[in-house]
Amino acid sequence: MEDLIHEQREVGPLANFCYLIGDPATRKAAVVDPSFDARPLQGFAAENGLTVEIILVTHHHPDHIADVERLADETAARVFAHRLSNVRKDVALEDGDFVQLGEIRIKALHTPGHSPDSTCYLARNRIWTGDTLFIGECGRVDLPGGSAAQLWESFFTRIVHLPDELVVFPGHNYGATSSDTLGNQKRRNHTLQPRTKEEFVAFMAAP
């Protein structure tokens, strides 16, 4: 039996990705970042006998939460987001907290930089990175609450130390592929190449 049901859909005008994570044993499901229209994932859940019980928010930017309220209203799913997020949430997460989805434990990893509340989610051999890390690139740091120094901390004290075999699923379809191993990204993503914090801040500020 597969260890995890997983569906990736591109939605909306900004090439957002939203995701469904399902537990094969209990048929419970979570939706990550219900962006402009999560109804295709609801349809996938219905077709596969899954019940959406959890909504995971990677960060509060409107293009990632546009369909949260509708989805929560229709499914009665609980909304999980970092404590610093201003999204309406049922459960406020801290770094290192676990979300239980049936028999699947999903770990919340606080990775500020793109936004103060940016959070990645890890389960089994996958990591959903929102706008913290894209395939071949990273999220911008020039929006309100963004910080290149914080993103350096998130990258070089946290993400680069995670296992190479993790598969990265980003918040936007901005790369050459829709996912990749973290090991490949450590080698090929120019934003993850070794730099001091000062070098990284200057790098992110360059045109």
36-86 pLDDT, tens digit per residue, is: 999 999 999 999 999 999 999 999 999 999 999 999 999 999 999 999 999
- Look up residue 52 and give its two tokens: 């959406």
Distance CA 144, CA 202 (A): 18
pLDDT tens string 7-37: 999 999 999 999 999 999 999 999 999 999 9
Domain count, the chain: 1
Neighbouring CB atoms inside 10 A of 177's CB total 11
Distance CA 21, CA 174 (A): 21
Distance CA 65, CA 32 (A): 9
In 3D space, the residue among 133, 137, 199, 131 whose CA is nearest the CA of residue 162 turns out to be: 133
Residues 6+ apart with CB under 8 A from 80: 54, 55, 56, 57, 89, 90, 91, 93, 99, 108
Q: Would you state the pLDDT for residue 70? A: 98
Q: What is the largest CA-CA distance in the chain?
A: 50
* Residue 1 confidence (pLDDT) above 90: no
Tokens 């899954």 -> residue: 50
Entry pTM? 0.97
pLDDT tens string 78-104: 999 999 999 999 999 999 999 999 999
Q: Which of the 8 DSSP states describes residue 77? A: P
Distance CA 101, CA 87 (A): 21
Query: Which CATH number belongs to the domain containing residue 34 in this structure?
Result: 3.60.15.10
pLDDT tens string 164-207: 999 999 999 999 999 999 999 999 999 999 999 999 999 999 98
Angle at which helix 39-47 crosses helix 68-75, to 10 degrees, equals 30
Domain coverage including residue 38 = 5-205
pLDDT tens string 101-138: 999 999 999 999 999 999 999 999 999 999 999 999 99
pLDDT tens string 136-166: 999 999 999 999 999 999 999 999 999 999 9
